[in-house]
């Protein structure tokens, strides 16, 4: 079993690799589980030390569009491609050409490279809730279902939605076994802010736990559909595993999300870490971020994911506790 992860050295990519390596085997598209012999991590930046140290891991550094166009990847024998590499939302809105290159052209060329293999690899495409958006002057669709018409209000969302369409047609033609999963707002992300407009959804927990002030740029009542890193990785893996019959004919599905609000997230932070943490939140609206976030739906249904056995986080308190448990070096406050 040979697996390629694009964006494989990013937070989600590295976490996915660790999860797969720890499991040791993977069942693909309903077939019997097989030992994982190699995971190729394609990224611009090298992998973390623990992954570099694993003999099953290979690192392929460079620009994904060039790698795919030149057929450097996926190499022959690749069974599964997890396509996570992307320019993030704020980058794509600020630099249209960057997004078209990194998200649109690179995804297209990666699909072409998969097709060139001739072996119909499984391709799991990380799409996003950002495919959904509020049309000017119209209410947000509520609820958003798996088959609600996406009307993206950002270039990132358009590029992800076009990616879904390409995956659907390359799958229909038999060039890949295609599955698109719409990731929710993943929180709590460790490390540094990544430039996404949604970055504060992690920063408002991560920074206070590290004793650092954090700005919350939207109102407490702002609804949001979140998922922990653990739930998100589960979704990606399940997408690779599902049999064609279990997956069904619609190529894209919504991953599970916990429906909450920014205010309730702050309360959960307080319940875990006390006022010492919530006192570090600066509630100061950023009109640009508020405007963009207001076009993202907070009520996203995920019936198809549930039918695949996936589930949402039970509570945001659980999410905060899991972050603190998994990242002890990043928590400087003494938790009660």
What is the set of active-site residues?
156
Residues 6+ apart with CB under 8 A from 153: 133, 134, 135, 292, 295
Rounded to the nearest 5 degrees, what angle is found at the Cα of 143, between the Cα atoms of 90 and 170?
Answer: 60
Strand runs labelled E in 184-257: 185-186, 214-216, 223-227, 252-254
Backbone dihedral region for residue 179 (phi beyond 0: left; psi -120 to 50: alpha; all else: beta): beta
Which residues here bind a second copy, judged by CB under 8 A? Answer: 96, 135-138, 147-153, 155, 158, 161-162, 165-166, 168-169, 172-173, 248-250
- Tell me the β-bridge partners of 185: 226
- Closest separation in Å from C-beta 143 to a second copy: 14
Distance from C-alpha of 199 to C-alpha of 90, rounded to nearest angstrom: 10
- Interstrand relation of 214-216 and 281-283 (parallel, antiparallel or unpaired): parallel
Give which of 190, 176, 216 is closest to 81, Cα–Cα: 176
Minimum CB distance to a second copy, residue 137 (Å): 6
The three-class DSSP label of residue 181 is strand
User: For the chain, how big is the Rg over CA atoms in Å?
Assistant: 19
Q: Toward a second copy, which CB reaches closer, 123 or 258?
A: 123
Least gap, CB of 126 to a second copy (angstroms): 18
Task: Closer to a second copy by CB, 13 or 150: give it.
Answer: 150
- Shorter beta-carbon distance to a second copy: residue 31 or 173: 173
Q: Hey, CA dihedral for 321, 325, 328, 334, is it positive or negative?
A: positive
Identity of the residue, 149 or 221, whose beta carbon is nearer to a second copy in the bound complex? 149
Q: How far is the CB of 304 from a second copy (least distance, A)?
A: 12
Q: How far is the CB of 145 from a second copy (least distance, A)?
A: 9
């Amino acid at each position: 079993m040979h697996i390629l992860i694009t964006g494989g050295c990013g937070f989600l990519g590295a976490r996915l690799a660790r999860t797969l390596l720890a499991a040791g085997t993977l069942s693909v598209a309903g077939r019997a589980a097989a030992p994982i012999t190699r995971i190729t991590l394609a990224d611009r930046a090298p992998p973390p030390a623990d992954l570099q140290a694993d003999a099953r891991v290979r690192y392929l550094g460079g620009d994904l569009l060039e790698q795919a166009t030149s057929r450097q990847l996926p190499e022959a024998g690749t069974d599964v491609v997890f396509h996570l590499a992307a320019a993030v939302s704020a980058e794509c809105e600020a630099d249209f050409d960057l997004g078209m290159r990194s998200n649109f052209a690179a995804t297209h060329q990666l699909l072409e490279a998969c097709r060139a293999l001739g072996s119909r690899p499984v391709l799991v495409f990380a799409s996003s809730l950002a495919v959904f958006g509020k049309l000017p002057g119209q209410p947000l669709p509520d609820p958003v279902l798996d088959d609600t018409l996406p009307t993206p209000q950002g270039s990132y969302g358009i590029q992800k939605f076009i990616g879904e369409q390409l995956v659907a047609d390359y799958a229909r033609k038999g060039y890949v076994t295609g599955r698109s999963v719409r990731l929710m707002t993943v929180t709590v992300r460790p490390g540094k802010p990544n430039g996404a407009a949604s970055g504060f959804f992690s920063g408002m927990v991560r920074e206070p736990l590290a004793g650092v002030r954090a700005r919350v740029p939207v109102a407490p009542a702002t609804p949001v559909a979140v998922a922990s890193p653990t739930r998100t990785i589960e979704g990606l893996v399940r997408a690779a595993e599902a049999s064609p019959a279990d997956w069904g004919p619609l190529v894209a599905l919504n991953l599970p999300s916990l429906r909450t609000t920014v205010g309730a997230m702050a309360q959960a932070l307080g319940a875990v870490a006390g006022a010492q943490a919530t006192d570090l939140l600066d509630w100061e609206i950023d009109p640009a971020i508020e405007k963009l976030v207001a076009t993202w739906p907070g009520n996203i249904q995920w019936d198809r994911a549930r039918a695949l056995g996936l589930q949402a986080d039970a509570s945001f308190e659980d999410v905060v506790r899991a972050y603190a448990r998994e990242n002890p070096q990043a928590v400087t406050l003494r938790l009660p």
